[in-house]
Amino acid sequence: MTARKDISGLITQMTLDQKISLLAGKNFWETQEIPELGIPSLKLSDGPNGARGAAFSGGTTAACFPASISLAATFDLELAYKVGKALAEETLTKGANVLLGPTVCPHRHPLGGRNFESFSEDPLLTGRLASQYICGLQDQGVGATIKHFAVNEQETKRFTMDANVSEKALREIYLKPFEIAIKEAKPWALMTSYNSINGKHADANDVLLQKILREEWGWRGLCMSDWGGTNSTAESLNAGLALEMPGTGRYYSQRAIQGALASGKLSEEVIDQRVTEVLNLISVTGKFEHPEIIAECAVVNPEHSRLIREAGAQGIVLLKNQDGILPLHPKSIKKIAVLGLAKQCLAHGGGSASVNAHYKITPYDALEKTLGTATKLLYAEGAHMHRTLPVLAENLADLQGTAGLTLTKYSLDNPEKVDAVSTVQTSRYMSLGQAPSSKVIIEGTFTTKETGHHQLELSSIGVATLCINGELIMSAHGGTADPVAFLQGNSEGQRCFFDFKQGESCAIKIELKPEANKSGLLLLNGAMGVSLGMMEQSMAERDLLTPAVEAAKDAETAIIFVGNTTAWESEGRDMKTMNLPADGSQDRLIDAVADVNPNTIVVVSTGVPIAMPWLSKVKAVVQTWFPGQEAGNAIVDVLTGMVNPSGRLPVTFPRRLEDTPAYENFPGNMDTLQVDYAEGSFIGYRHYDHHPVTVLFPFGYGLSYTTFEHSNAHLACGTDAVYSGSASEFIASIDVKNTGDSSGSEVLQVFVTPPASLTNSRTQRKLVGFAKLHLEAGEAGSASIAFTRNEFSEWDEGSSRWTVPGGEHVVEIAISASKADVKASFKILTDREDLTSKL
């Protein structure tokens, strides 16, 4: 990273107080400025699949791009660069110059709530795609923030968990995507994780932030905390954490840092180095030349919309296509039952990756537009999907009789003194970022639309009680495993039933008091929040399945759209099961429809593998991930054959949760707050290679509407490619011909398997390269994939270095990680200076 400003000269002009002020944020999204020295503020924005802007929800609309796992399924480096470039342009429309992405933590377990936000179980695929994404961003002058460094593979207790991981697994799996992207793309910023690694918090981990990141990898960018993720002053600054976010500083306040300096735990030399890193980021993003932060604006860029549609479609994976039921042939289909989540756009997962999209195209709308009036669509919802109950927002009256509820805040110093009174429009309140209160009361009346035994849900940050007509109904203490889930409106709380009568007004009173923050996130100290939800008895008891089955009976083809909404797959929580939500409702829908319609197609929108107990009963399965705001169009493009599916699985789909390598060690021990990475580096296909019968669909798998023929596999290299230390380049090549009647793309993957050692017969096959080749019908071409010994080296814990074991290495050119798909096999003898190969 080359600074365009005389940073050292600028630092000499600064007082110590001014230097310290730059080490903590000005507010939630901006760094501190020093106007008298011409130092501007720098705005950051959440990503990684859209520049959201300052608001957590609502706010200025933004373009929603496909999730990173969807991008990974494309196996397309050029497309990743284009997405990064477009995201840079989007970031600038939000007045920001740094995007908080990409997320590159490997997928350790299929229940990881944030897996969708990262790329893959494979570190090389992740690192290579992230590199292009970063280059796309930074070539446009927008800084990338690679995250979360490191070993952040779960959401459960993520603020306080300690991940125990071996040096070998750390190097080969969990640091490797960071290493690849940092060396290839040189991101301008990096964000630490909340958790501890082997007993030391990530933000103060000098082994990670100094020894590895800076000394070994030579990185010179800015290291920032996750929001509220700073845990020390001197230790974090000495380790290399330059910027505490958000706010005006807790551990990096003037008082804390001055105290560390006075005690001798911190030197001004370290302060100068961290300030240099802050100023370098301000400089390289061009803020010294353009210091203003423009107002956020919503720019619907048609080129970005087309790219989102293209990228979403390219990431879709065709998992099953019995009897060639896909692509659809509308002229021969008069009626299609369109069921499940067809009228929802599952564009993204929940949490910081959420954006208020400019627009969202649902599959139903896209089908209706594409098929026209010639094909009748029979829609039915088919399954209950709610996780939390809808917040009360209608038929409310405050104490003055106007719409809403009365909110009264009481002074922190004097609990009997009223600080403020206002009217709120819903039964949800959050105080994050506001002055603390001793208590909050929300009250008024609620009038129900119908008589029934209605269900209520009370969730909170803090201690909350609900009274109806003066009677205590229920209370909630904290109510959520991760308060971030509450911030996002996905917090499950205490539930009960209450008998309401139509037209009868009931007095509602919610009292909320603060509670000691047990989450481990300092950012939430003093925060309070409460939400009251309700579902009418008639809504809860609606029979959604029967209309769906009747529609399926009446149609020639049934397409069932299933998946995880943001309530089920999100930052802030891990999933509890591989089965589709809720409580088996979507699985029952598929089973019931497949029983009455032999031409059933299942379209899955999740960011993780799912269990498929109904797989043998349906004709086709399409995995769409979260394709962004053009989701409906991207999905229908593939269903109708306008786009030939070329996505490949970036993760293995196991048959059962019990078959996963980390099954007994996820999410860890909640009493000791320890999670053991006992499976070592055997995650993903590295594990399933030794347990092939447990695989439903292998890594790299995906079908096409056309067929390919492979021939002339060949491996070329120099004779210096031996264990003596050379990193000579190998080139695996293969000829491919499209033997079908439609254009399509083939993804070639090269794996290297080392020889079994004397001490361990469990070898680790590794992806060392990949290529995507597009061919017209009847066209022939060739793919060449280059790699070096660096890609298949192993970490030796005894010598703490990368090594290549002597013996025979098998190189496979494959179209998935399944050994049955291997097209050629070669052997490299690394213990003497020659190379033998055989087809």
Rounded Cα distance, 458 and 491, in Å: 9
Asked if the model's pLDDT at residue 1 lies above 70, the reply is: no
In eight-state DSSP terms, residue 637 is H
pLDDT of residue 523: 75
Asked if the model's pLDDT at residue 822 lies above 90, the reply is: no
pLDDT tens per residue, range 38-88: 999 999 999 899 999 998 878 899 999 999 999 999 999 999 999 999 999
Asked if the model's pLDDT at residue 526 lies above 80, the reply is: no
pLDDT tens per residue, range 776-800: 999 999 999 999 989 999 999 999 9
Mean residue pLDDT across the chain: 92
pLDDT of residue 2: 44
Lowest mean pLDDT among 118-132, 423-437, 510-524, 649-663: 510-524
Lowest mean pLDDT among 379-388, 502-511, 823-832: 823-832
Rounded Cα distance, 160 and 229, in Å: 10
pLDDT tens per residue, range 392-438: 999 999 999 999 999 999 998 898 999 999 999 999 998 876 778 89
Asked if the model's pLDDT at residue 604 lies above 60, the reply is: yes
Instruction: Assign 826 a pLDDT band (cuts: 50, 70, 90).
Output: low
Instruction: Assign 829 a pLDDT band (cuts: 50, 70, 90).
Output: low
Residue for token pair 């970005």: 304
pLDDT of residue 726: 46
pLDDT of residue 716: 85
pLDDT of residue 482: 64
Nearest of 489, 493, 426 to residue 457 by alpha carbon: 493
| 8 A C-beta contact, residue 60 and residue 53 | yes
Asked if the model's pLDDT at residue 14 lies above 90, the reply is: yes
Nearest of 587, 577, 576 to residue 545 by alpha carbon: 587
- pLDDT more than 90, % of the chain: 82
List b or e across 825-834, with b for residues whose CB sees 16 or more CB atoms inside 10 angstroms.
bbbbbbeeee
pLDDT of residue 341: 98
Lowest mean pLDDT among 83-87, 254-258, 682-686, 819-823: 819-823
Instruction: Assign 480 a pLDDT band (cuts: 50, 70, 90).
Output: low
Asked if the model's pLDDT at residue 834 lies above 50, the reply is: no
Greater model confidence, 835 or 192? 192
pLDDT tens per residue, range 338-359: 999 999 999 999 988 899 999 9
pLDDT of residue 83: 98
DSSP 151-170: -----TTTTT-EEE--HHHI
For the ranges 121-135, 450-464, 467-481, the maximum mean pLDDT occurs at: 121-135
pLDDT of residue 216: 97
Rounded Cα distance, 813 and 819, in Å: 10
Collapsing DSSP to helix, strand or coil, 601 comes out as: strand
Rounded Cα distance, 728 and 830, in Å: 12
Rounded Cα distance, 346 and 344, in Å: 6
Domains of the chain (ranges; CATH) run: 7-14+33-228+269-284 (3.20.20.300), 302-387+542-693 (3.40.50.1700), 396-538 (2.60.120.260), 708-837 (2.60.40.10)
DSSP 339-389: EESTTS-----BSTT---BS----HHHHHHHHHGGGSEEEEE--S---SSP
pLDDT of residue 820: 53
In eight-state DSSP terms, residue 412 is S
Rounded Cα distance, 110 and 368, in Å: 34
| 8 A C-beta contact, residue 123 and residue 176 | yes
Collapsing DSSP to helix, strand or coil, 313 comes out as: helix
Instruction: Assign 524 a pLDDT band (cuts: 50, 70, 90).
Output: confident
Sheet of 335-340: strand order equals 317-321, 620-623, 600-605, 557-563, 335-340, 376-380
pLDDT of residue 84: 98
Instruction: Assign 761 a pLDDT band (cuts: 50, 70, 90).
Output: low
Greater model confidence, 186 or 386? 186
| 8 A C-beta contact, residue 55 and residue 105 | no
Instruction: Assign 835 a pLDDT band (cuts: 50, 70, 90).
Output: very low
pLDDT of residue 431: 86
Determine what percent of the chain falls in helix, strand and coil, rounding each to the nearest 5: 25, 25, 45
pLDDT of residue 252: 97
Q: Whole-prediction pTM value? A: 0.94
Instruction: Assign 836 a pLDDT band (cuts: 50, 70, 90).
Output: very low
Asked if the model's pLDDT at residue 718 lies above 60, the reply is: no
Pairing of β 505-513 and β 463-468: antiparallel
pLDDT of residue 432: 76
Range 578-585 average pLDDT = 96
Rounded Cα distance, 578 and 610, in Å: 5
Range 495-524 average pLDDT = 89
pLDDT tens per residue, range 299-339: 999 999 999 999 999 999 999 999 999 999 888 899 999 99
Pairing of β 189-192 and β 162-164: unpaired
Lowest mean pLDDT among 89-103, 427-441, 675-689, 710-724: 710-724
Residue for token pair 């031996």: 722
Catalytic residues, by residue number, are: 226
Asked if the model's pLDDT at residue 365 lies above 60, the reply is: yes
**Hey, how many other C-beta atoms are within 10 angstroms of the C-beta on 694?**
16
